[in-house]
Amino acid sequence: MYQYSDVESSEFITQMLNEMFYYHPQIVVSVLNEIEIHLLVEHRNDKYVNYLIQSSCGLPQMVTEDINFNQATLSEDANRIISEIESADANKELQNMVISIVTKWK
């Protein structure tokens, strides 16, 4: 979706992916594991793939904008997500990269 989006829609796409990752991290990681084969040729490079990983696995705005935002709950959610990622069927490099992103939430 990023390949075809303009600046205005890319923020919406990021938000949507972040929310999907927050609730279903294994699905997002499994898609990211195979993403290169679905990219246009000009986007098949580490820089773009890393951008997709960073954009997809961020903390969703709905969490940070919640007036009842609770750091303890976020840490619990981060631990849950890390556990799910560790059991996902994906290469270790991707898993480690995503776990590194989520660990920063704590």
Please answer whether residues 19 and 60 qualify as being in contact, where contact means their C-beta atoms are separated by less than 8 angstroms. Answer: yes
Domain of residue 66, residue span: 2-103
The larger pLDDT score, comparing residue 11 to residue 71, is at 71
Please answer whether residues 63 and 15 qualify as being in contact, where contact means their C-beta atoms are separated by less than 8 angstroms. Answer: no
Q: What residue has token string 């990211």?
A: 32
Task: Note the pLDDT of residue 8.
Answer: 54
- Write the pLDDT tens digit of every residue in 31-85: 999 988 888 888 888 998 998 899 899 999 888 888 777 888 899 999 999 999 9
**Structural domains counted in the chain:** 1
- At 71, which amino acid appears? Q
Report yes or no on whether pTM surpasses 0.85: no
